[in-house]
Amino acid sequence: MLFVPLSLLLLCQLLVADAVQAAQQCRLQLNQKSSLSGGDVPSASTASKSTATTSRSATAVGASATSSSTPFAYGKTPVRGVNLGGWFVLEPWITPSIFQNTGNDAIVDEYTFGAMQDSATALSVLQNHWETWITEDDFVAIAAAGLNHVRIPVGYWSVPLTSSDTNGSTSAAPYTPGAWPYLLKALNWAKQHNVHVILDLHGAPGSQNGFDNSGQRTSSTEWENNSSNRTRTVDTIRYIAENIGGLVDIIELLNEPATFLSSSYPAALRQFWQDGYSAVRSATGTSNQVMIGDGFMGVDSWTDFMTAPSSQGVMMDYHEYQIFSVDELSRSFDDHISFACSSMTDLTNFAKSNIWTVVGEWSTAVTDCTQWLNGRGVGARWDGTWYTPNTPLGSCAGWTGSYSNFSSDYKTFLRKYWEVQVTMGENVQGWMYWTWKAENSDDWSYQKGLEGGWIPQDPTNRLYPNICS
């Protein structure tokens, strides 16, 4: 049984090299083969069961591609990982050069990147970026840093739905589609280097939060209040599960839905989590973990939600940053540490009596000084360059950019802050740092943290083992 799927994987890899349709073709191949494989999968009598059968075969394909064919031991081994931010979803602060090079200040996100220049230009810049921003060497370095997971943010516009996958629109306009084959290549690198994957839908049609990192920076989000947009999102999740469920461990249904935008949002989101969960389960059975998020409501708002036995294998994604308000920015170094310790208590209690929980985004950044962190053309709260009245907390010099300018006190803090948040994550089911690389922001870069020495090469290393006591 192992032999056949492995050969199929190789076939899929060959297809990846030259076709956007790669996964579709892999799925067709798997469909044909799965009817031959008989023995270890239940025989399929309906179309929907045959989809499930196919996907189980796909899972076997993924698993057989690495020396470790056992699934990751969630709940026993901590998730330790990094986000591959700014790759398949552009963010101005992560790759400012891509935005600067457009010569157009109105291009502030991936939506305007597609809308405000000709499509051939947009595609060629993006293809070069997809090819170069993260390479196999990064997977090698990530594994060498003792990390066992990557979280890969993807926008819906990169998922090549066909008209047989949805009753809604399949258009990605004005976005630039074409990242899918690069994603498939990355999933194979992950397998080869024994790195597990959280596939994270980071941008939904209409935008789930209006942040540039959803693809569209807008004050008029239309995901939560337009049911065709939500249905297309479920169709997108189903497509992901059917086509690449076997190559990823966790499917995260949606990143950072901003429930604070409207009073009807929390109910819409609860329904979406259920619908997305069902879409994954009907496609791949129980082989994928399904990740939901707290939607900025705090994990306690999700007490008793989607717990076993009615839902199995559901994980909570919690994000922690302490820099997106003046109050948080005003905390002293020690206050930042204490805050992380208090979050730890809350998360631990939630995870114990509800569902497995991962701190899926956090960083060591302690200011909002990185250029365009708050959006292209937007200043920082820290130095008073954003809105008025905004009393500056200080100058941004020495807080971001190259670490050659970081003081030794600052680097000592970065190490403590890394360590307390890792401790928080390991008190629940794990952590994913945001982010692996940034062009000009070493305070946010795991890669630069390793190089500059404030992040240890062995993530179990502790200089401050009793940091919360």
Quick one: angle between helices 3-18 and 180-192, nearest 10?
A: 140
Shortest Å, Cβ 164 to ligand NAG: 8
x/- binding map, residues 238-267, to ligand NAG, per CB under 6 A? -----------------------xx-----
Residue choice 401, 410, 411, 468 for contact with ligand NAG (CB under 6 A): 401
Q: For the CB of residue 261, give the shortest distance to ligand NAG in the complex, in Å.
A: 5
| Known catalytic residue at 256 | yes
State the helix-helix crossing angle for 3-18 and 22-37, rounded to 10 degrees: 160
- Candidates 386, 425, 352; CA nearest to 77 is 425
As measured in angstroms, the least distance from the Cβ of 9 to ligand NAG is 27
CA–chain centroid gap for 293, Å, is 11
Shortest Cβ distance from residue 231 to ligand NAG (Å)? 7
Determine whether 242 is an active site residue. no
67 or 263: whose CB is closer to ligand NAG?
263
Torsion, Cα 366 368 370 371, to 10 degrees, reads 180
Rule CB under 6 A: choose which of 124, 220, 286, 407 binds ligand NAG. Answer: 220
A 10 A CB-CB count for 111 gives 24
Per CB under 6 A, which region of 52-60, 214-222, 240-248, 305-313 contacts ligand NAG? 214-222
Stretch that binds ligand NAG, among 84-92, 129-137, 364-372, 402-410 (CB under 6 A): 402-410
Subset of residues 319 to 348 that bind ligand NAG, contact rule: CB under 6 A: none
Nearer to ligand NAG, 148 or 229 (CB): 229
CB closer to ligand NAG out of 345 and 402: 402
In the chain, the amino acid numbered 349 is N
Closer to ligand NAG by CB, 163 or 469: give it.
Answer: 163
Distance CA 79, CA 371 (A): 30
Is residue 205 a contact residue for ligand NAG (CB under 6 A)? yes
Please say which residue, 339 or 410, places its beta carbon nearer to ligand NAG: 410
The reply on whether position 200 binds ligand NAG by CB under 6 A is no
Question: Is there binding between residue 397 and ligand NAG (CB under 6 A)?
Answer: yes
* Residue choice 162, 402, 457, 460 for contact with ligand NAG (CB under 6 A): 402
Q: Is 177 exposed, middle or buried (0-12, 13-18, 19+ CB in 10 A)?
A: buried
For ligand NAG, give the closer residue by CB, 17 or 397.
397
Encoded tokens for 369 = 């000084």
From 224, 256, 320, 419, the catalytic residue: 256
Choices 19-27, 142-150, 229-237, 332-340; region in contact with ligand NAG by CB under 6 A? 229-237
Separation CA 185–CA 77 (nearest Å): 26
Which uninterrupted H or E stretch holds 199? Answer: strand 196-203
Return the residue of 286, 342, 345, 405 that touches ligand NAG, per CB under 6 A.
Answer: 405
Beta bridge partners of residue 362, listed in sequence order = 320
Stretch that binds ligand NAG, among 2-10, 31-39, 188-196, 394-402 (CB under 6 A): 394-402
- Helix, coil or strand: residue 415: helix
Using CB under 6 A as the binding rule, whether residue 222 contacts ligand NAG is answered as yes
Number of residues in contact with ligand NAG under rule CB under 6 A:
21
* Closer Cβ to ligand NAG, 296 or 339, answer by number: 296
Applying CB under 6 A, among 225, 282, 311, 312 the residue interacting with ligand NAG is 225
Query: What CA–CA distance (Å, rounded) separates 98 from 437?
Result: 15
Spell 353-376 as b/e; 16+ CB within 10 A means b.
Answer: ebbbbbbbbbbbbbbbbbbbbbbb
**Residue 309, preceding peptide bond in cis (omega within 30° of 0):** yes
Nearer to ligand NAG, 194 or 227 (CB): 227
Closest CA to 88 of 250, 202, 205: 202
> How far is 351 from 362, CA to CA, in rounded Å?
18
> Rounded to an integer, what distance in angstroms lies between the CA atom of residue 315 and that of residue 312?
9
For ligand NAG, which residue of 81, 206, 215, 456 counts as binding (CB under 6 A)? 206
Spatial neighbors of 360 by CB under 8 A, at least 6 apart, are 83, 151, 198, 200, 252, 291, 293, 317, 318, 319, 431, 432
Shortest distance, CB of residue 228 to ligand NAG, whole angstroms? 4
Interface with ligand NAG in residues 149-178 (CB under 6 A): 166-167, 169
Q: Which of 110, 224, 361, 419 is catalytic?
A: 361
- 343 half-sphere exposure, CB direction, 13 A CA radius: 25
Task: Report DSSP state, residue 44.
Answer: P
**Residue 68 within binding range of ligand NAG, rule CB under 6 A:** no
Of 31 and 307, the one with the shorter C-beta distance to ligand NAG is 31
Which residues of the shown chain bind ligand NAG in the complex (CB under 6 A)? 166-167, 169, 205-206, 220-222, 225-226, 228-229, 232, 235, 261-262, 397, 401-402, 404-405
Q: Which residues does the annotation mark as catalytic?
A: 256, 361
